[in-house]
């Protein structure tokens, strides 16, 4: 028999949100069995709790946002991925702003803190979601195909496809969660340089910089453009370099880091089912909308 878990003691991670740029503190605290993951906005006159469930998904543009009424918490996916990957069933997440800190653009720091405080075993059996049938969601126009099939364990096969040769077609997979911390958690979010200015024009990625994302560049940079980017990212011009198609001085951790990050995001979004699931997922060109729509469809079938 497997038992539910929570964390042994509270911990806090702080930093700017990726899109709002607002500096927030996210404090994770132990929670009783059958609580699940619950977010609490503590900066409001009256604290509002938002269960981390697919039916509370409010928006999936450039991240996953949960909401109850007009109260929202955005960019939850990396934290949720770490909780899923590290087998945390129950926790309260107190956040004093509208967005979870982006940190280094991965789930690594969440995993490090969970590992440091350790897990507490609760006296309640862990509940797994099982599928009575194959579940599929697709968007043929975008080439997205999301399949969940009944299985005895948890497995994900992920494939992404980009026209740019810098990424191209990549795959990543995970069978069980034992290798999550080593193989998936450190993989950072990524974006193409031409998307950066578009996102900034939409008043997004205010908290983004060259240390928390892989910025892919598929064209040569002139001196004028380097100077403009230096001002944009508040860096010295000489630090604006392109190495192997990446606009910063950090190297990808894996040749298929973008595919692994998409898998990381999926693990966070699918945990919005409210419990771990035994299924074999085959996901092609996933994104937050596709991930959460698949979760909602599964919820409708098992309800």
The CATH code belonging to domain 3-127 is 3.30.230.20
> What's the rounded Cα separation, in Å, for the pair 154 and 134?
14
The pLDDT of residue 241 is above 90 = no
User: Does residue 122 contact residue 90 with C-beta atoms inside 8 Å?
Assistant: yes
The pLDDT of residue 237 is above 70 = yes
Minimum mean pLDDT range among 70-79, 114-123, 225-234, 294-303: 225-234
> What's the rounded Cα separation, in Å, for the pair 183 and 106?
12
Longest dimension (CA), the chain: 63
pLDDT average, residue stretch 101-114: 96
Residue 87 annotated in active site: no
Burial class, 151, CB count within 10 angstroms (exposed 0-12 / middle 13-18 / buried 19+): middle
Residue scoring higher pLDDT (177 or 217): 177
pLDDT digits (tens, 9 = 90+) for 179-228: 999 999 999 998 888 777 666 666 655 566 667 788 888 778 888 888 87
Quick one: what percent of the chain has pLDDT higher than 70? 94
Res. 258 pLDDT band, cuts 50 70 90: very high
Domain boundaries, the chain: 3-127, 190-247
Residue scoring higher pLDDT (248 or 111): 111
> What's the whole-number average pLDDT of the chain?
92
pLDDT average, residue stretch 52-65: 96
Angle 214-220-226 (CA atoms, 0-180°, nearest 5)?
Answer: 70
**How high is the pLDDT of residue 20?**
81
pLDDT average, residue stretch 106-130: 97
**How high is the pLDDT of residue 144?**
97
3-state secondary structure the chain: CCEEEEECCCEEEEEEECCCCCEEEEEEEECCCCCCEEEEECCCCCCEEEECCHHHEEECCCCCEEEECCEEEECCHHHHHHHHHCCCCCEEEEECCCECECCCCCCHHHHHHHHHHCEEEEEEECCCEECCCCEEEEECCCCEEEEEEECCCEEEEEEEECCCCCCCEEEEEEECCCCHHHHCCCCCCEEEHHHHHHHHHCCCCCCCCCCCCEEECCCCCCHHHHHHHHHHCCCCHHHCCEECCEECCCCCCCCCHHHHHHHHHHHHHHHHHCCCEEEEEEEECCCHHHHHHHHHHHHHHHC
> What's the rounded Cα separation, in Å, for the pair 19 and 63?
9
**How high is the pLDDT of residue 12?**
98
**How high is the pLDDT of residue 222?**
83
Catalytic residue selected from 78, 84, 280, 288: 288
**How high is the pLDDT of residue 247?**
83
pLDDT average, residue stretch 126-132: 96
What is each CA distance from 92 to 11, 28, 77, 151, 223, in whole angstroms? 11, 6, 15, 30, 48
Residue scoring higher pLDDT (207 or 247): 247
Written as six digits, the tokens of 30 are: 């132990």
User: Does residue 89 contact residue 275 with C-beta atoms inside 8 Å?
Assistant: yes
Res. 2 pLDDT band, cuts 50 70 90: very high
Minimum mean pLDDT range among 35-39, 207-211, 227-231: 207-211
């Amino acid at each position: 028999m497997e038992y539910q878990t929570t964390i042994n003691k509270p911990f806090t991670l702080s930093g700017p949100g990726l899109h709002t740029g607002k500096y927030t503190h996210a404090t994770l605290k132990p929670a009783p069995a059958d609580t699940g993951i619950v977010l609490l906005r503590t900066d409001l006159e009256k604290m509002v709790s938002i269960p981390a469930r697919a039916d509370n998904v409010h928006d999936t543009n450039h991240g996953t946002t949960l909401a109850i009424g007009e109260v929202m918490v955005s960019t939850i996916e990396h934290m949720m991925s770490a909780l899923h990957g590290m087998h945390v069933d129950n926790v309260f997440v107190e956040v004093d702003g509208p967005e979870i800190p982006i940190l280094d653009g991965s789930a690594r720091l969440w995993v490090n803190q969970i590992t440091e405080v350790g897990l507490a075993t609760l006296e309640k059996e862990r509940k797994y979601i099982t599928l009575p049938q194959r579940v599929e969601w697709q968007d043929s126009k975008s080439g997205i195909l999301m399949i969940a099939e009944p299985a005895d364990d948890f497995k994900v096969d992920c494939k992404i496809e980009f026209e740019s040769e810098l990424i191209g077609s990549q795959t990543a997979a995970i069978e069980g969660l034992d290798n999550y911390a080593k193989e998936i958690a450190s993989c950072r979010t990524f974006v193409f340089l031409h998307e950066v200015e578009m996102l900034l024009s939409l008043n997004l990625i205010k908290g983004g910089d060259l240390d928390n994302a892989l910025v892919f560049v598929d064209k040569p940079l002139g001196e004028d453009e380097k100077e403009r980017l230096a001002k944009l990212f508040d860096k010295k011009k000489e630090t604006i370099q392109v190495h192997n198609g990446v606009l910063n001085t950090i190297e990808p951790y894996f040749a298929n880091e973008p595919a692994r990050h998409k898998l990381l995001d999926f693990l966070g979004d699918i945990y919005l089912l409210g419990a771990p699931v035994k299924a074999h997922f085959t996901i092609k060109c996933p994104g937050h909308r596709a991930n959460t729509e698949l979760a909602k469809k599964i919820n409708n079938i098992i309800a």
